[in-house]
Structures are given as structure tokens and as C-alpha cells.
């Protein structure tokens, strides 16, 4: 929430909760603890206290909002339309209290100064370079290193991985099943986590967009979307990032797409920016609108992990699944409790390492139970969190950006 909250409007919104509890089973913090105070319904009760404002926010209420992942699964589940924006007010207060040191929190494996710099690709690249040493570090640091998002950097390594899973690259390519949009100009939003940790996957996505007829440019001077500054209670830094990106992407005169890979960045760009005639699209939305290069069959059982910021934050549900269904011989499966967050939540997993690890293991077990040979997702945070949880369980199940798999299918049998 970048503007001052309208307390009267928030009180009105609070009235829409009928306390039915239908949101509880979709809340990861409630599922992991069974504690009503850590459920959406419990948080709405606490919101009454926060909005009373006198004698000031109660420490228990702040802690409950601090522990809210911001996944918005409760918003999707709620039949009364109670919006997540109610919780943003509580989360903003908690983030400020955390930064000012008035909220006692679990010790994070990453110091505050580092958390605040994770929106810089150069810092993320440094962490990635140090990750192999983390095996020797204390457990929380080692867990953090295991949870850094990763995908094969060299195309040949990605091909070897997927060829190994499928057996070989054979089969007749399928001509594009539909006539998609005409070729369009795309401004690519690089995103700090993708730029720092998954640059090869970004390059492959751009290749796929170009081979689908688009002209892609990466505007210079772009910055983090601002979500990290919001999560860490720094509204001034968030506003500065917004200003930087507005200058980099401009308002433009012509219709174009601003394509973003990370679901978390996508929410921030869609809700907090106005790019004039430019339309912000998640990468899967863009690809699903285009006529892709002919795809060849990929005989794999693939589990799709729906990132909360795409599924609940942006309400983008069909495009990623449609892309996977467009690949012949691919069996798409989804885990039990699919609506539950994986426990990433941007830097939330670093601020709440023990709860995040527990939620992550629950998600990893559900994904393993699908019998999938590969997991795909659309958010770097989810990718890293699930990768780390699988490693903790000793499971050797690969996880990749969904667009890496589509890129592989679009290569054709002879490449």
C-alpha cells in the first residue's frame, strides 16, 4: 500500500467478513500451526484492534501480520470478497516495527542490511558465487544457500537434463494450434532475482518471444519493481524504484507489452504503475497470446506449482496451464493443497526461517506425491524455496522455470 490508508474504508471492508472460516484451509501459516491467530479470520479480528488505534498496535497483532505471507490465497477462497488490501495495512505496520526494532522477531540467517540489498542483481550474483561454501556454514545459512533459485546456465546442460528425463528428443512437431496475436513490441522487465540468479532462463524466454514474432527490447535504467522495499518497510525506497522504472519504460505512445517473468514483480507492476497504453503481462500470459513456434512432444509427467503472486495476486490461472497442455504427451499434474503457499513470500522465508522451512517441506512432500518427473513454476522465489525443501527431504526431483520447458519444446526435434 503506497498511499496513506483510508481507515474508514478499511473498517467498512472489515464488515464484509462473515467469519465462515472457508479461507482457513488455504492459509499456509494456519495449516502449519493450527493457530487461529495465524489464520486470515484471526487476522481480521486483530485488524479491529489495529484500526481502533488506541493505545497503539498490540505486539501480538503485529506479530501475526508479520507472519502473514502476503500470498492472497485467502482472498481467492473468500466467498464474501474480503480483499487482501486489509492485511496490507497490518503488514505495513509490522514491517515498520520490524525495521525500527520494536517488533521482536525470529533471528534471520541474513542480517537486515543484506535483506535490504537483495533487490540488487550484483548482490544476488555474489550470494550465488558464495553458495557452494555455505555447505560448511551453520544450518540456517546453509539452508538459505540451498534455497537460492537456480536453473542450468548453459543451454546444453538444460537440454541434457530434459533429454535425460524424456529419453530423447524425437517426435513430430505440432504446428501451432491457433492463430495468436500479431507480432508486437515488447519491453522486457528484467527483475532483480531473474537478472541476478536466472539470467539464462531470461535469455531463453526472450529467444522464445522473438521466435514467436515479437520484437523485444530491455529498457536501460530499469530497477527493482519496488516490492522488496515494500516488504522491508521502506516506502521511500519503493517510491524511488517506481520513479526509476517510470523513466525507463516511459508512458509510450504505442500499444506494447511489458513482459515480466517473476510473478511477485508482476503484481507490483500491475497494481502500482501506469504505463499508459503499455500492458503489463506475465510471461505466460504473453506466450499464451502468441503463435508459438511449432512444439514437439515432451513425454513427461510435470507438476505445476502455481505461484501465489500469479494465481492469487494476478488471478492468472489459465495461461500457464494452457501452455503446458499445448505440449503433446506432457501429463500435467498438480499437488494436493495446491492453493497453499510454498513459504517463499519474497524475503519472508528469510525473516521466518523455521516456519518457512516447515511450510516448504509440506509443499515439497505434496509435489513428490504427484509422482512427477519435473516441477515447473513461474516465480524465482518459489523455485528456490521448493528446491531447498526438496534438498532437505533428500529428494532428487528437478524444478525449472515453466518457460524453460516451453523453450525446450519449441526447439524442434533436430536442434
Contact residues for ligand SF4, defined by CB under 6 A: 17-23, 26-29, 40-41, 43-44, 68-74, 77-78, 80, 82, 84, 87, 341
28 versus 186: smaller Cβ distance to ligand SF4: 28
What is the smallest separation between the CB atom of 12 and ligand SF4, expressed in angstroms?
14
C-alpha to C-alpha distances, 320 to 183, 196, 253, 398, nearest whole angstrom: 20, 23, 29, 18
86 versus 397: smaller Cβ distance to ligand SF4: 86
User: Pairing relation of β-strands 374-377 and 301-304?
Assistant: parallel
74 versus 267: smaller Cβ distance to ligand SF4: 74
What is the smallest separation between the CB atom of 141 and ligand SF4, expressed in angstroms?
25
196 versus 360: smaller Cβ distance to ligand SF4: 360
Query: ω before 55 within 30° of 0 (cis)?
Result: yes
- Tell which residue, 201, 188, 184, has the closest CA to residue 248: 188
What is the smallest separation between the CB atom of 33 and ligand SF4, expressed in angstroms?
11
State how far the Cα of 170 lies from the Cα of 357, in Å rounded to an integer. Answer: 39
What is the smallest separation between the CB atom of 76 and ligand SF4, expressed in angstroms?
9
Instruction: Give, for 65, the enclosing helix (H) or strand (E).
Output: helix 59-66
Beta-carbon count within 10 A of 295 CB: 23
18 versus 395: smaller Cβ distance to ligand SF4: 18
What is the smallest separation between the CB atom of 50 and ligand SF4, expressed in angstroms?
14
What is the smallest separation between the CB atom of 93 and ligand SF4, expressed in angstroms?
15
State how far the Cα of 281 lies from the Cα of 255, in Å rounded to an integer. Answer: 13
Three-state secondary-structure class, residue 161: helix
The single residue listed with the C-alpha cell 505496520 is 93
- Tell which residue, 191, 189, 186, has the closest CA to residue 254: 186
Rounding to the nearest 10 degrees, give the CA dihedral for residues 375, 158, 323, 330: -70
256 versus 352: smaller Cβ distance to ligand SF4: 352
Amino acid at each position: 500500500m503506497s498511499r496513506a490508508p483510508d481507515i474508514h474504508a478499511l473498517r467498512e471492508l472489515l464488515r464484509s467478513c462473515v467469519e465462515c472460516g472457508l479461507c482457513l484451509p488455504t492459509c499456509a501459516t494456519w495449516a502449519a500451526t493450527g493457530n487461529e491467530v495465524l489464520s486470515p479470520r484471526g487476522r481480521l479480528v486483530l485488524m479491529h484492534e489495529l484500526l481502533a488505534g488506541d493505545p497503539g498496535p498490540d505486539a501480538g497483532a503485529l506479530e501475526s501480520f508479520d507472519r502473514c505471507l502476503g500470498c492472497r490465497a485467502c482472498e481467492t477462497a473468500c466467498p464474501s470478497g474480503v480483499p487482501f488490501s486489509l492485511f496490507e495495512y497490518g503488514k505495513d505496520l509490522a514491517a515498520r516495527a520490524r525495521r525500527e526494532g520494536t517488533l521482536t522477531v525470529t533471528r534471520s540467517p541474513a542480517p537486515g542490511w543484506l535483506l535490504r540489498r537483495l533487490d540488487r542483481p550484483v548482490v544476488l550474483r555474489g550470494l550465488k558465487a558464495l553458495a557452494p561454501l555455505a555447505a560448511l556454514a551453520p544450518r540456517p545459512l546453509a539452508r538459505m544457500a540451498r534455497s537460492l533459485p537456480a536453473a542450468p546456465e548453459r543451454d546444453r546442460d538444460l537440454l541434457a537434463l530434459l533429454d535425460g528425463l524424456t529419453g530423447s528428443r524425437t517426435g513430430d512437431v505440432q504446428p501451432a494450434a491457433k492463430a495468436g496475436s500479431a507480432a508486437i513490441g515488447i519491453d522486457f522487465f528484467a527483475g532483480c532475482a531473474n537478472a541476478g540468479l536466472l539470467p539464462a532462463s531470461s535469455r531463453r524466454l526472450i529467444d522464445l518471444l522473438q521466435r514467436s514474432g515479437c520484437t523485444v527490447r530491455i529498457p536501460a535504467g530499469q530497477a527493482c519493481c519496488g516490492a522488496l522495499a515494500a516488504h522491508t518497510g521502506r516506502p521511500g525506497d519503493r517510491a524511488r524504484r517506481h520513479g526509476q522504472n517510470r523513466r525507463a519504460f516511459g508512458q509510450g505512445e504505442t500499444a506494447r507489452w511489458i513482459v515480466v517473468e517473476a510473478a511477485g514483480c508482476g503484481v507490483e507492476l500491475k497494481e502500482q504503475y501506469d504505463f499508459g497504453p503499455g500492458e503489463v503481462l506475465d510471461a505466460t500470459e504473453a506466450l499464451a497470446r502468441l503463435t508459438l513456434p511449432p512444439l514437439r512432444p515432451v513425454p513427461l509427467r510435470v507438476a505445476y506449482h502455481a505461484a501465489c503472486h500469479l494465481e492469487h495476486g494476478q488471478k492468472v490461472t489459465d495461461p500457464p496451464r494452457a501452455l503446458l497442455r499445448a505440449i503433446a504427451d506432457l501429463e500435467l499434474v498438480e499437488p494436493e493443497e495446491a492453493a497453499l503457499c510454498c513459504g517463499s513470500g519474497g524475503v519472508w522465508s528469510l525473516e521466518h526461517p523455521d516456519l518457512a522451512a516447515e511450510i516448504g517441506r509440506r509443499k515439497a512432500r505434496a509435489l513428490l506425491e504427484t509422482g512427477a518427473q519435473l516441477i515447473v513454476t513461474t516465480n524465482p522465489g518459489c523455485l528456490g524455496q521448493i528446491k531447498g525443501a526438496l534438498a532437505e527431504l533428500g529428494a532428487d526431483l528437478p524444478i525449472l522455470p515453466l518457460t524453460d520447458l516451453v523453450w525446450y519444446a519449441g526447439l524442434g526435434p533436430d536442434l
